[in-house]
Amino acid sequence: MDRPDWAPGDIDLARPSAARVYDYYLGGSHNFAVDRELAEQAIALWPDLPLIMRANRAFLRRAVRFCLDSGIRQFLDLGSGIPTVGNVHEVARAVDPDARVVYVDSDPVAVIHSRAILDGDERTAVVHGDLRDPAAVLSSAEARRLLDPDEPVALLMVAVLHFVPDADDPAGIVSRYAKEMAPGSCLVLSHATHEGQPQHAGPHQRLYARTSTPLRMRSHAEVTALFDGFELVDPGLVLLTQWRPDPTDEPDEHPERFSGYAGVGRKP
């Protein structure tokens, strides 16, 4: 069928996009006035946000390295967003040039941009899809081409499940991916939380309700539950900067500023 990857009407530049807002937090310019306006409003409410975003991105880098150290050479990055500095394939290639990465996002602009950046790279691919439909993602031509189901894979759900409401059963989604993953595979997960910064969480969630991807923050227990079927590696589910910091990093005196939980689980 010649059905387009996305339904017409997806591209509404009058609405901010979470992917482009995130890019702005990281200092990128892959964004528009409406994205920047939202980001600035968010920062006004919660000045630490850029820090949190950078900490999240840093967690991604450390977690990918951890997976590489564990012998994993294929990555499935769900909700990959706008390719900006420190993409998964860049981090992975620094260790092994043969590492394979499949990016998945539902934002058509992010997908097109990713494809432009990765054009000609045989070991990366971008799927325009909805991470809430594991069957569709896993059966996509790109995933089947690059991911070997018999080999361990790193499933990256970094700062993305807080965009999945309870009604869509995030734990069920994770378990449907997990079912298809070989033993030794890893789940890399970070998730926004209201714990620690309750005064910011409410207004922030309301602000994100204006985007095409509203926000649902979750507690430590709720995020831990998402790791059902995985064994959390040390140090477990912790605040973003506390997850295996680089040895040379200065100890953070106020990790609670980073209102996100991070963890890596290994499938036995």
Partner 1 sequence: MSRPAEGIPEPRHRLGLAALAGRGRETAVGGEDGPCGPDVVGGLAAAWAEAVAGTSYVSMSRSEIEQHLAGLTRQLVTALLAEPFDPTPARQVGAAMVAAHFTGTETLNRTVALLATELPARLGLFRDGCQGPVVERVAAVQGALAAGYAEALRQRTLDEQEAISQAVFVARDQTEQALRASEARFRAVFAEAAIGIGVGDMAGRILEANASLLEMMGYSLEELRQRNVRDFMHPEDAASVWRLYDELVHGQRDHFRVEKRFFRSDGEVIWTHLTVSLIRDDRGHPTYQVAMIEDVTDRHLLQERLRYQALHDPLTGLPNRALFLDRLSRAFETGGRDGRVGLCYLDLDGFKVINDSLGHDVGDQLLVAVGQRLDACVSAPGRLVARIGGDEFIILVERSGSTQDVVVIADHVLAALEAPIRVGEHELAVSASIGLVERPVHGTTPADVMRDADITLYWAKSDGKAKWALFDPERNAREVARFTLSATMPAAIERGEFYLDYQPLVRLSDGQLVGAEALVRWRHPEFGLLAPDRFIGLAEETGQIVPLGRWVLREACRQARLWQDRFGQRAPFISVNLAVRQSRDPSLVADVAKVLAETGVEPGRLQLELTESAVMGTADEPLDALRALSAMGVRIAIDDFGTGYSNLAYLRHLPVHELKIAGSFVEGLRASAADGSHVVDARIVGTLVSLAHALGLGVTAEGVETEAQARRLDDIGCDSGQGWYFARPGPPDQITRLLS
Site residues (CB under 8 A) for partner 1?
Answer: 2-6, 8-11, 13, 20, 26-32, 50-51, 53-54, 57-58, 61-62, 82, 85-86, 90-91, 108-113, 116-117, 246-250
Task: Using alpha carbons, select from 41, 59, 89 the residue that is nearest to residue 191.
Answer: 59
Is the Cβ–Cβ distance between 54 and 257 less than 8 Å? no
Nearest to partner 1 of 96, 231 (CB atom): 96
What residue has token string 């968010």? 42
What residue has token string 């394979």? 100
Nearest to partner 1 of 31, 197 (CB atom): 31
| Distance from C-alpha of 190 to C-alpha of 168, rounded to nearest angstrom | 18
The nearest distance, CB 251 to partner 1, in angstroms, is 12
Nearest to partner 1 of 174, 188 (CB atom): 188
The nearest distance, CB 109 to partner 1, in angstroms, is 5
The residue type at 129: G
Q: Could you tell me which residues come within 8 angstroms of residue 1 by beta carbon, excluding any fewer than 6 positions away? A: none
| Distance from C-alpha of 85 to C-alpha of 72, rounded to nearest angstrom | 22
Q: What is the CA radius of gyration of the chain?
A: 17
State the DSSP H helix or E strand holding residue 51, giving kind and residue range, or none if neither.
helix 49-69
DSSP 183-214: TT-EEEEEEE-STT-HHHHHHHHHHHTTSSS-
Nearest to partner 1 of 119, 150 (CB atom): 119
The nearest distance, CB 175 to partner 1, in angstroms, is 31
The nearest distance, CB 62 to partner 1, in angstroms, is 8
DSSP 8-state secondary structure symbol assigned to residue 149: T
The nearest distance, CB 67 to partner 1, in angstroms, is 16
| Distance from C-alpha of 210 to C-alpha of 214, rounded to nearest angstrom | 7
The nearest distance, CB 115 to partner 1, in angstroms, is 8
Nearest to partner 1 of 11, 225 (CB atom): 11
Strand partners, 239: 261
130 phi and psi angles, rounded to 5 deg: -110, 120
Nearest to partner 1 of 65, 194 (CB atom): 65
The nearest distance, CB 260 to partner 1, in angstroms, is 15
Nearest to partner 1 of 61, 220 (CB atom): 61
Is the Cβ–Cβ distance between 161 and 191 less than 8 Å? yes
